Amino acid sequence: MEFEATRDAYGKALVELGRINPNIVVLDADTSQSTRTNWFAKEFPDRFFNFGVAEANMTGYAAGFSLCGKIPFVSSFAVFGSIRNFEVIRTSICWAYLNVKIVVTHAGISVGEDGASHQSIEDISAMRSLPNMTVIVPADSRETKKAVFACIEHNGPVYIRLGRAKFPVLPEASFKIGKANVLKEGKDISIIACGLMVFEALKASEFLEKQGISCMVINMSTIKPIDEEIIISCAKETKGIITCEEHSIIGGLGSAVSEVIAEKCPAKIKRIGIKDVFGTSGKPDELLRKFEIDSNSIYNAGLEILNDRL
């Protein structure tokens, strides 16, 4: 199996985009080594701007750039690039409907050893609540590249959430903003996942299938606008839905899916995510296990749904 960090794919995609599109500018707040925007900076020093440790100001500059026809990519760690500067994103960018791309890395608890201060588990919730914002959580490096290219075709604010760790690379698939991908058809249980959790979902589906349970696995990489159609068909055609995300169970993918089924097609649902607590230091795989968001936890949730133990 091949592994690649989504942030590495971002760094490469930016350089490619920079060569094609002279309007692209990249902004970072003293995290460019880690977000990989330094690769763009190296090739295009005149279109790269480092603001130091000042995320709110950086976000405001992006608004100004966009108002003058540039396409700014704004990067930092997920915590500092989405929530620290939340209200600037809200007012200066989203309200004004500006063409700004916010691409953050180090999201979720797979950040690992840095611990809770650096583990963003609230950002999907926050970004999803903003009018005009599009929210994308790519599952792997291939999808990251496609999402980064797709986001400049979309006129308006976009939030792309990436990780620090190396993610398994999944089979080639198409990408369209707002369209989920069915990775596996099945009739008993639907597993809807995003980001790193797509791989965990696939693993869990194999365990479940060994027990004779057939699983539909869906990569819901666009959290907003969410693909309602596919959620409704999951609700209708399988016995229950499991959502999986490296994020709080409050406000993220699990909430988005729950909102759709509650209104359109009530069904059993089980949310796999961080259960309203902060993260902690540890290795990524240890943390997935500790916080019960690993493939084993998804497997158990599958059994619970079928045994009606909800």
Partner 1 sequence: MVEIDDIILKITLISKKIRRLVIKMLSIAGSGHPGGSLSCVEIVTTLYFHIMRHRPLEPDWDDRDRFVLSKGHSCPTLYANLVLSGYFPEEELKRLRMLDSILQGHPDRLMTPGIEVSTGSLGQGLSCACGMALAGKIDKKDFWVYVLLGDGEIQEGQVWEAAMSASHYKLDNLIAFLDYNKFQIDGKVCDVMNIEPLKEKWASFGWYVQEIDGHNIAEIISAVDCAKKIKEMPKMIICHTIKGKGVSFMENKPEWHGVTPTKEEAERALSELV
Please, which residue, 88 or 196, has the CB nearer to partner 1?
Answer: 88
- Find out whether 98 and 124 touch, Cβ atoms under 8 Å: no
CB burial of 90-99 (b: ≥16 within 10 Å; e: otherwise) equals bebbbeeebb
Candidate list 21, 91, 117, 211; residue touching partner 1; CB under 8 A: 91
Beta bridge partners of 161: 104
CB of 26 to partner 1, least distance (A): 12
Closer to partner 1 by CB, 63 or 220: give it: 63
Taking CB under 8 A as the criterion, the residue among 8, 44, 56, 258 binding partner 1 is: 56
Least distance to partner 1 from the beta carbon of 18, Å? 14
Count of CB atoms within 10 A of residue 2's CB? 11
Report if residue 278 touches partner 1, rule: CB under 8 A: no
The whole-angstrom separation of Cα 87 and Cα 103 is 17
Binding mask 17-36 for partner 1 (x = CB under 8 A): --------x-----------
Distances (CA, A) of 144 to 10, 148, 196, 248, 274: 6, 6, 12, 22, 23
Please report how close the Cβ of residue 133 comes to partner 1 at its closest, in angstroms. Answer: 15
d(CA 213, CA 197): 20
Give Cα separations from 159 to 83, 221, 228, 258, 303 (angstroms). Answer: 12, 12, 20, 21, 34
Of 9, 13, 24, 62, the one binding partner 1 by CB under 8 A = 62
Q: How far is the CB of 57 from partner 1 (least distance, A)?
A: 3
Our finding on whether 86 is near partner 1 (CB under 8 A) is no
Identify the bridge partners of residue 224 per DSSP, sorted by sequence position. 135
Q: Catalytic residue numbers? A: 55
Q: How far is the CB of 64 from partner 1 (least distance, A)?
A: 2
Among 37, 92, 99, 144, binds partner 1 (CB under 8 A): 92
Stretch that binds partner 1, among 43-51, 160-168, 181-189, 285-293 (CB under 8 A): 43-51
Residue count at the site for partner 1 (CB under 8 A)? 30
List the structure tokens of 246. 């490296």
Which CA distances in Å does 61 have to 44, 68, 268, 304?
18, 11, 45, 49
Candidates 34, 38, 57, 214: give the one binding partner 1 (CB under 8 A).
57
Please pick, from the candidates 10, 51, 159, 175, the single residue that binds partner 1 as defined by CB under 8 A: 51
CB atoms within 10 A of CB 45: 9
Contact positions vs partner 1 (CB under 8 A): 25, 46-47, 49, 51-52, 54, 56-70, 72, 87-88, 91-92, 95-97
